[in-house]
Amino acid sequence: MLAEIFRAESSKPLDDFIASLATTASRRGFFIHNESKMDMARTFGQHGFTMAADFDLHMIQICKPEKAANSLSRNPERAVLMPKFVVVFSRDGRTFIRFLRYTQLMVAELIDDDDFPESLAKSFDEIIAMIHEAV
């Protein structure tokens, strides 16, 4: 397996979960990079597509600017694997959270960089810890 999907669920309404995630992220030096564009119903609407009234999906890009700037300065090849999206959607009164995590093996196979697989794994661990805390 080269990647896995982390799955979580929350009884919090979607917007409350996102607010909790933003607070948790901020305490760890992360922030939501795409706050104005993460609501996919609104984004699709801006492009002329109408979604069902109950379509509530947010693609939240999590960023830690200090670490990202340092990492990309060392090797711009890393950029292709750096965007980290937490996908959050609601269904049947519950909030579902999904996060794609690459294995260190996959990262090592794609990017010739001895330090990056472990560094990226630590970022994934931090994001998953933030999700647990926000749930």
Per-residue pLDDT reduced to its tens digit, 19-69: 999 999 999 999 999 998 999 999 999 999 999 999 999 999 999 999 999
Range of the domain at 123: 3-134
* Domain containing residue 59: CATH number: 3.30.310.70
Q: How far is CA 16 from CA 66, 122, 134, in A?
A: 27, 26, 9
CA separation for the pair 135, 131 (Å, rounded) = 6
pTM, to two decimals: 0.94
Q: Considering its fold, how many domains does the chain have in total? A: 1
**pLDDT tens digits for range 76-110:** 999 999 999 999 999 998 999 999 999 999 999 99
Question: Which residue, 92, 26, 24, 33, is CA-closest to 58?
Answer: 33
Place of tokens 């929350």: 10
Q: What are phi and psi of 85, to 5 degrees?
A: -110, 130
